[in-house]
């Protein structure tokens, strides 16, 4: 009997510890409505640009968790910023880390708990908009205008274009300031230069040539990889097909696409709704079935390094990615690894193989905007926070943060350009040119264009600047910058971008791995599900807004 009771007790304990398992993870602390500290105007307590009493702000910084990196919230560069802000503005700065790859979830949690940093940044404007709709984001419009004279560096770097980018046409509110994207070069297709030489194939300039090249890689696996022949992947993509095959897919978009079409069908940042997108995906489907595409691409999630390791090991023939993907990260770059693992001749080169219907190599790039900087309503120091942005944007400060110390992270050349040196230890930069600290700027912006370009090409320690120049040249060929269609909030976009992006990835993945005969069915079903789940509502609302603001016009005024 005792044993039986003991058994029942044990069952009870196990049942409690295993639990019902229902996940109701919402809720959490809700902050009280914040009282804006506006008594006496925004300049209260300021003597010139310096506070008479020390103020305190918190600033978001991405944690990229790189190998050998330093603590993103406490290192040589954060000390530089903290000392400078205290000296120049009497503002104490604390950094708060947010993981780079799950930034939206983390920000959601911080905002919902009322503990978000005073200065937040994200790549997702819909996230800002969602919280602005709840009144949880400070309207920056009055501050940026009233304090214009004490924010000279910010206005100088970003200009009206970026500061007013998100200004609501009706209410005039500004919930986020758009950082400047200095170079619009964005995406490249890379192929193994040494493989082209081994197989005596010229660099591909058309889709057919590219396809033939991939086929040749596949068929000559023994020559190229010897014993590892079965590991060869001619073309690799990730689950994020729209991004990783973008150069190929958008080459099917008709050259004649108008601003109106680009706006109405432009919600998805991978351009999923653009005309003829399906044709591009169909090519991938055919290639997949010919064994030219990495079979496991859909299994690995965001931030997984399996694919990158395959590139570094030399198994991948071609891929498409960020403009400088093969060369960035110094000693740990794909290029450096290839040279170490295979030999000095191994390496990737940028090519431009996908002309559109009129033979142009169009690449749809972002508008000159980058991260969105916003202040949550819990920020009690909007002016101190703006002074922080101004401080970061000042030429001398951002140059130091981007290029570091002379002789440690860069060498100044005779012409005044900077050549990057790979650093380690506490002066290592956790992100390329400390982009995570220089939150108002992405890329190089020196005194003039020529210097900027030279610095750019020398920005990759250990890489022949010829490759970098070529990469930028290719990436800038026939670029089409994004357009700013400022028609206010599209209600249908509220809170839906992440679930729609997941749907997009899901059905693109499924249609690529479908048999060629099934492709149309899988793609069309996926697309109609996407449209039914909110995509069509966005298209309709955008179409309505366009005709409200621009009438029948096909192009922006």
Partner 1 sequence: MLKRGGRVKGRTSAYLKRYWMLYALMLAPLIYFIIFKYIPMTYIQIAFKKFNITQSVWEMEWAKNNGFEYFIKAFSNRDFLYAVRNTVMLNVLDLAIGFPAPIFLAVLLNELAFKRFKKITQTIIYMPHFLSWVIISGLALQLFAPTTGLVNTALGKIGLGPIPFLNESVHWVITYIFIGVWQSAGWNTIIYLAAITGINPELYEAAAVDGVNRLQKIWHITIAGIKPTIVVLLVMNLGRILSSDFDRPYALGNNLVSNVSDVIATFVYTNGIRGSQFSLATAVGLFQSVICVIFLLASNAIAEKFGEHGIMS
Least Å distance, CB 343 to partner 1, is 24
Is there binding between residue 111 and partner 1 (CB under 8 A)? Answer: yes
**Residue nearer to partner 1 on the CB measure, 244 or 362:** 244
Residue count, binding to partner 1 (CB under 8 A): 62
Spell out, one character per residue from 516 to 535, where the chain touches partner 1: x when CB under 8 A holds, - when not. -------------x--xx--
**Distance in angstroms (rounded) separating the CA atoms of residues 176 and 100:** 19
Q: Within 13 Å and on the Cβ side, how many CA atoms surround 466? A: 4
Neighbouring C-beta atoms of residue 252, cutoff 10 Å: 20
Q: Toward partner 1, which CB reaches closer, 6 or 553?
A: 6
Tokens standing for 343?
């030999």
3-state secondary structure of 428: coil
The answer to the question of residue 453 lying near partner 1 (CB under 8 A) is no
The answer to whether 173 and 137 have CB atoms below 8 angstroms apart is no
Closer residue to partner 1 in complex, CB, 5/358: 5
- Check binding of 3 to partner 1 (CB under 8 A): yes
- Say how far apart CA 26 and CA 247 lie, in whole Å: 40
Residue 4 beta carbon to partner 1: minimum distance, rounded to whole angstroms: 5
Q: Pick the closer one to partner 1 by CB: 228 or 345.
A: 228
Residues 13-52 vs partner 1: string with x where CB under 8 A?
-xx----xxxxxxxxx-xxxxx------------------
Q: Indicate whether 136 belongs to the interface with partner 1 (CB under 8 A).
A: yes
Nearest to 70 by CA among 316, 428, 339, 357: 428
* 118 is an interface residue for partner 1 by CB under 8 A: no
Question: Cα–Cα distance between 327 and 348 in angstroms, integer?
Answer: 9
Q: Which of 114, 275, 355, 462 is the binder for partner 1 (CB under 8 A)?
A: 114
Per DSSP, helices labelled H in 394-439 are: 395-403
> Residue 125, interface with partner 1 (CB under 8 A)?
no
- 173 CB-near residues (< 8 Å, 6+ apart): 132, 139, 141, 167
Segment lying near partner 1 (by CB under 8 A), choices 110-118, 275-283, 471-479, 485-493: 110-118
When binding is defined by CB under 8 A, the residue of 498, 520, 537, 550 that contacts partner 1 is 498
CB of 14 to partner 1, least distance (A): 6
Nearest to 227 by CA among 315, 341, 340, 345: 315
Query: Does residue 495 interact with partner 1 by CB under 8 A?
Result: yes
Which of 172, 177, 121 has the alpha carbon at shortest distance from 142? 172
Q: How far is the CB of 176 from partner 1 (least distance, A)?
A: 15
The answer to whether 201 touches 213, Cβ cutoff 8 Å, is yes
For residues 205-234, which are near partner 1 according to CB under 8 A?
Answer: 230-231
Counting every residue written for the chain, the total comes to 557
Q: How far is the CB of 32 from partner 1 (least distance, A)?
A: 7
Give the footprint of partner 1 on residues 235-264 (CB under 8 A).
239
Judged by CB under 8 A, the stretch of 84-92, 123-131, 413-421, 465-473 that binds partner 1 is: 123-131
Q: Is 462 left (phi over 0), alpha (psi -120 to 50) or beta?
A: left
One residue of 57, 81, 85, 112 binding partner 1 per CB under 8 A: 112
DSSP string of 255-285, one letter each residue: TT--HHHHHHT--STT-TTSTTHHHHHHHHH
Closest CA to 157 of 393, 392, 367: 393
Task: Write down the least CB distance from residue 370 to partner 1, Å.
Answer: 22
- Distance between CA atoms of residues 58 and 378, nearest Å: 11
Minimum separation from the CB atom of position 81 to partner 1 (A): 29
**Among 101-109, 208-216, 252-260, 485-493, the segment contacting partner 1 (CB under 8 A):** 101-109
Whether the Cβ atoms of residue 235 and residue 215 lie closer than 8 Å to each other = no
Show the site string, 300-329: x = touches partner 1 by CB under 8 A, - = not. xx----x-----------------------
Position of tokens 């399906």? 278
The CA-based dihedral angle spanning residues 13, 18, 22, 27, taken in that order and rounded to the nearest 10 degrees: 80
Residue 553 interacting with partner 1 (CB under 8 A): no
Q: Which stretch binds partner 1 (CB under 8 A): 4-12, 150-158, 217-225, 398-406?
A: 4-12
For 332-347, b where at least 16 C-beta lie within 10 A, e where not — what string? ebbbbbbbeebeeebb
Helices of type H across 417-464: 449-457
If the CB atoms of residues 3 and 170 are measured against partner 1, the closer one turns out to be 3
Kindly tell me which of 292 and 463 has the beta carbon lying closer to partner 1.
292
| Of positions 43, 197, 502, 521, contacts partner 1 by CB under 8 A | 502
Tell me how far apart the alpha carbons of residues 173 and 375 are, in angstroms, rounded to a whole number.
13
Q: Is 513 in the site for partner 1 (CB under 8 A)?
A: yes
Closer residue to partner 1, CB minimum distance, 4 or 170: 4
Indicate which single residue of 75, 122, 130, 393 sits in contact with partner 1 (rule: CB under 8 A): 130
Q: For residue 138, what are the contacts with CB-CB under 8 A and spacing of at least 6? A: 36, 175, 374, 375, 376, 377, 379, 382
Binding site for partner 1 (CB under 8 A): 3-4, 6-8, 10-11, 14-15, 20-28, 30-34, 104-105, 108-109, 111-112, 114, 127, 130-131, 134-136, 230-231, 239, 294-296, 298-301, 306, 377, 495-499, 502, 505-506, 509-510, 513, 529, 532-533
């Amino acid at each position: 009997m005792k044993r039986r009771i003991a058994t029942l007790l044990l069952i009870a304990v196990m049942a409690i510890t295993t639990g019902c398992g229902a996940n109701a993870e919402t809720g959490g602390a809700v902050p009280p409505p914040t009282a804006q500290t506006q008594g006496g105007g925004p300049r209260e307590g300021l003597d010139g640009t310096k506070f008479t009493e020390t103020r305190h702000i918190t600033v978001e910084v991405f944690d990229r968790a790189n190998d050998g990196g330093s603590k993103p919230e406490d290192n040589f560069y954060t000390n530089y910023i903290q000392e400078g802000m205290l000296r120049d503005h009497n503002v104490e700065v604390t950094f708060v880390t947010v993981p780079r790859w799950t930034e939206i979830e983390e920000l959601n949690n911080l905002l919902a708990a009322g503990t978000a940093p005073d200065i937040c940044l994200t790549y997702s404007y819909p996230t800002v908009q969602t919280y602005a709709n709840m009144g949880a984001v400070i309207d920056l419009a009055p501050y940026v205008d009233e304090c214009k004279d004490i924010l000279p560096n910010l206005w100088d770097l970003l200009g009206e274009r970026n500061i007013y980018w998100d200004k609501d046409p009706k209410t005039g509110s500004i919930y986020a300031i758009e950082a400047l994207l200095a170079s619009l070069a964005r995406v490249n297709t890379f192929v193994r230069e040494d493989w082209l030489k081994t197989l005596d194939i010229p660099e591909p300039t058309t889709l057919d040539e590219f396809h033939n090249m991939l086929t040749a890689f596949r068929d000559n696996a023994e020559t190229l990889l010897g014993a590892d022949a079965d590991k060869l992947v001619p073309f690799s993509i990730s689950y994020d097909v729209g991004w990783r095959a973008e150069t190929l897919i958008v080459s099917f978009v008709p050259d004649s696409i108008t601003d109106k079409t680009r706006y109405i069908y432009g919600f998805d940042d991978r351009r999923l709704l653009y005309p003829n997108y399906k044709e591009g995906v169909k090519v991938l489907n055919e290639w997949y079935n010919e064994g030219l595409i990495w079979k496991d691409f859909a299994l690995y999630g965001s931030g997984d390094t399996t694919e990158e390791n395959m590139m570094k090991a030399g198994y991948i023939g071609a891929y498409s990615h960020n403009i400088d993907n093969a060369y960035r990260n110094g000693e740990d770059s794909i290029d450096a690894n290839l040279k170490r693992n295979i030999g000095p001749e191994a390496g990737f080169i940028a090519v431009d193989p996908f002309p559109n219907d009129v033979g142009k190599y169009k690449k749809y790039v972002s508008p000159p905007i980058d991260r969105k900087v916003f202040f949550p309503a819990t920020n009690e120091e909007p002016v101190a926070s703006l002074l922080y942005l101004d401080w970061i944007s000042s030429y001398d400060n951002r140059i130091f943060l981007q290029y570091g110390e002379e002789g440690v992270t860069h060498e100044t050349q005779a012409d005044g350009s900077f050549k990057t040196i790979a650093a380690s230890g506490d002066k290592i930069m956790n992100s390329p040119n400390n982009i995570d600290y220089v939150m108002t700027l992405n890329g190089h912006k020196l005194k003039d264009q020529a210097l900027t370009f030279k610095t750019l090409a020398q920005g990759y320690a250990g890489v022949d600047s010829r490759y970098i120049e070529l990469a930028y040249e290719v990436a800038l060929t026939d670029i089409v910058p994004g357009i700013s269609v400022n028609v206010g909030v599209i209600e249908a976009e509220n809170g839906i971008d992440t679930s729609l992006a997941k749907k997009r990835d899901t059905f693109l993945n499924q249609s690529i791995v479908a048999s060629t005969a099934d492709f149309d069915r899988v793609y069309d079903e996926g697309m109609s599900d996407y449209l039914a789940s909110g995509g069509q509502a966005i298209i309709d609302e955008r179409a309505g807004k366009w005709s409200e603001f621009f009438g029948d016009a096909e192009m922006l005024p």
